[in-house]
Structure 1
Amino acid sequence: MHVDINLLPEKEKRKLPLILIISLLLVVLFAFGAYAWSIYEQKIQEKDNLEKHLAYSKKLREIQQTKSAENNSSHVVDELETAIKWAEESSVSTFLLVRSITSMLPERGFILTFSFTDNGEVQLSVQFDSSRQAAYFLKSLSDSNLINQATLLDIKTETLEETEAKTENVLPRYIAQYSLIIDKKALKKGELEGKVTQ
């Protein structure tokens, strides 16, 4: 048998590697903590910067909206003023026109329909006792200084029921359709003077 005898004193095991490992772990943990803290601070700084930028952008947008609203309101005012000016310039008195036209009618002539458009066109239906009165009325319209052009579109005889015709001596009625183009300047001038001349 072989026995191994060691007469040298046993060396103490050093705890250095354990202390070194713990120290190294603490340093790494501290470095990681410092890194994490710096990232956290950086993110907080970015958040603050973004909030400041957002607040600045909101304030800038409010200022631009205020300016835009002011510009829009002034633009709307300009449009309204233009519309009012146009309405004042282009409006004509249909009262004076109708009064002038009715003054040209024969004694038993009646306006049945009257249609006036913005561009100065008038469509007119008139009832007469004879076709001769319809022709005379067309001549009167053509001679008027308020009317640039007068056209007789159609003339029809109004039919009466036989029972009415037999019981009374009623003359047939004539319905004439006219198309007129009005001289707006002359009508406007007459409106300003307060009278309309034929």
Structure 2
Amino acid sequence: MLVEVNLLPEKPKKNYTSILYAGAFLFLLLLAVLTTFLFQRHLTQEVQVVNDQVYNVQLESAQIRQELTGLEWTDAKQIETAAAAVEGQIIPASSVTSYIVSLLPERGFIQYFTYTQPHSILVDVHFDRLEEIAQYHEALESSSLTTSVRLSVIDSHEMLDDEQHDINFDEVKSRYLASFELTLDREEGRSLGDEQ
């Protein structure tokens, strides 16, 4: 058998790990610097946009303030004129209600009361007898407070036969519900409110 003898010196193996670590470190450092630069540039652009918006809002508010100072006096006079006109049309609801209630018969009562327009009222009233409805209608029509009175509905509440209760239905009176539409005289309504 033949034996080989190598008399040449052995070449040392190159160690690439330190170069690989150095390259990875430089790559990460370059990536961090690039990311920081891009982020700082993005933030600078956002700050510039926000500063522009703030400047525009300040300009607009200065213009609006300038316009408002010119309009302030005319608007105040218009508001005062409108308020005076509205006050001239107001009819106090408490005075009207008190007056309408004072015209009711002894056992009559108002179930529903509402303004439908500034000078129109809907009233639902309960009565014991039909004659009381006619008397109340006449009292409203002859009143100086109303310019027109319209009786729209008369409804009676009938008692149903109930065998569980010992009630003598001959002694029970039915109640009547009448709905009135009233149109008020503005001048008379205001003078009524002034009296009270």
The TM-score normalised by the length of structure 2 is: 0.61
Q: Report the counterpart of residue 36 of structure 2 in structure 1.
A: none
SS in 1 for 2:86: helix
Larger radius of gyration: 1
Question: Which range moves more in the overlay, 137-146 or 75-84?
Answer: 75-84
SS in 2 for 1:163: coil
1:94-145 CA-to-partner distances (Å, cap 9, x unmatched) read: 1111111111111010100001144300111000001111111000000001
Q: Report the counterpart of residue 140 of structure 1 in structure 2.
A: 139
Matched pairs, number: 136
Q: Report the counterpart of residue 175 of structure 1 in structure 2.
A: 177
Q: Report the counterpart of residue 126 of structure 2 in structure 1.
A: 127
Question: Are 1:72 and 2:71 matched, yes or no?
Answer: yes
Query: 179, 187, 190: which is aligned to 1:185?
Result: 187
C-alpha spacing 1:86/1:117, structure 2 compared with 1 (3 Å): farther
Matches within 5 A, 1:1-198: 65-163=64-162, 167-168=167-168, 169-194=171-196
1:61 CA displacement: 8.1
Q: Which runs of 5+ in 1 are unaligned?
A: 1-59
SS in 1 for 2:162: helix
Q: Report the counterpart of residue 37 of structure 2 in structure 1.
A: none
Q: Report the counterpart of residue 21 of structure 1 in structure 2.
A: none
In 2, Cα distance between equivalents of 1:185 and 1:64: 46
C-alpha spacing 1:61/1:122, structure 2 compared with 1 (3 Å): closer
In 2, Cα distance between equivalents of 1:62 and 1:173: 66
Identity between Structure 1 and Structure 2 (%)? 25
Q: Report the counterpart of residue 37 of structure 1 in structure 2.
A: none
The TM-score normalised by the length of structure 1 is: 0.61
Letter aligned with residue 69 of structure 1:
L
Letter aligned with residue 111 of structure 2:
L
In 1, Cα distance between equivalents of 2:111 and 2:90: 24
Letter aligned with residue 180 of structure 1:
L
1:67 CA displacement: 3.3
1:80 CA displacement: 2.5
Letter aligned with residue 126 of structure 1:
V
SS in 2 for 1:100: helix
In 2, Cα distance between equivalents of 1:79 and 1:130: 53
1:49-71 CA-to-partner distances (Å, cap 9, x unmatched) read: xxxxxxxxxxx988754431112
In 2, Cα distance between equivalents of 1:151 and 1:82: 35
C-alpha spacing 1:114/1:153, structure 2 compared with 1 (3 Å): same
> How large is the Cα RMSD of the aligned pairs?
2.6
In 2, Cα distance between equivalents of 1:171 and 1:62: 72
